[in-house]
Structure 1
Amino acid sequence: MHRYTVEGNNRVKVIGLITAASIVTSLILHIGLSPRIDTLPLPDYILPFVYTVLSIGVIFALFYETYKEYGWRMAPQFVSPIPNLSGEWEGCVSEDGEPLDFDAYLSGEECCQCGDDMVPANLTVSQNFEKIEFDYTPEKNGHNSKSQVAMIRGTYSNRPVVYYLFKNEGDSETGEYYGGARLDLGDDVLRGQYFTGPVGPEDGQAVFERS
């Protein structure tokens, strides 16, 4: 996985809240454990270090690692509005600039069935509070690609937008090539456009539903 950016200062806010929680927890532990710590055969100049720097640092690391892997998914909107994209997504991709009828794909009797001019594809997203990766796998006529950098904008709105640059493994004829995608998120659906370099399919549209 690689790091990704988000709008606003919510990561700074989260670190501030975790720091405050670490200090409070350290003080509570200090009050409860100080009689036992004072009995340890430690030099006097070591005790302040144990009480402050060491205890707060260890507690902060534990809190932050827990939040980074699990807590951010359950955090309320005002604390961390980063959308949880992790998981499996299934959908269709058009090539050579062909437009997709998003509404027809997502509704009606043929919901979520790829037409003759579409390529069925899967998108696997791995994500935590710091890092993310988009792993795109077409079911036919294509090659896998993985994201290199990513950004999520509009995290405080109802329709966040995901931007990412990817590297496609290509084949012996084209070799590796690069491209980018812009996907709107809404109601467990990612939809938008992508483009590639001159050796790829150039541009098209994509729509994915969370599995």
Structure 2
Amino acid sequence: AVRNDRNKKKKDVPKPECSESYIITPEVEELIEKVRKAHQETFPALCQLGKYTTVSVGGRRGLGSTAAPRRALTSHLPPQNNSSEQRVSLDIDLWDKFSELSTKCIIKTVEFAKQLPGFTTLTIADQITLLKAACLDILILRICTRYTPEQDTMTFSDGLTLNRTQMHNAGFGPLTDLVFAFANQLLPLEMDDAETGLLSAICLICG
């Protein structure tokens, strides 16, 4: 009985709360500012883009000569109904446009990396290795920050806005739902440019 009382008393003792505080030095603030600037200069915010999407022509969505883009005058698109669309293995027109935009995104990612303090001091071989390992992660992170939950769409740097089905057909394939789930998980964080830039830099340095 005495032993049980001792155990009970031990359980009732409140544990001290651990609180940690971090002091940001001027050097760290300067580093964060450089990363934020690098991110902003290589990745325009969603509010800066004039969104446009594709139009249906003969029941098919595409970006070829028979399907001209429809540009929106505002930064918001009306909700898109995906029920009439079907997932296919690949939409050639969307794939061509996606490949073009991906190439431009890769170039911007390289520009971002070169603006990060210390990155250009690495050997060219090491720079290439890190970029190859992290480029896809950074591309996905960036496109996910341009997710619009009301329309379930993502917007590329030229303003092209695709819904979930179109993203699948453009080449995301089985990754589509995972990417959109990740985008949803980012929403509560409400990351600003500095935080997104720092997370991109972490992806790069970790390879």
TM-score range, shorter-chain basis? under 0.3
| TM-score normalised per structure 1 | 0.27
Flag the structure with more relative contact order, 1 or 2, with Cα contacts below 8 A and sequence separation at least 6.
Answer: 2
| TM-score normalised per structure 2 | 0.27
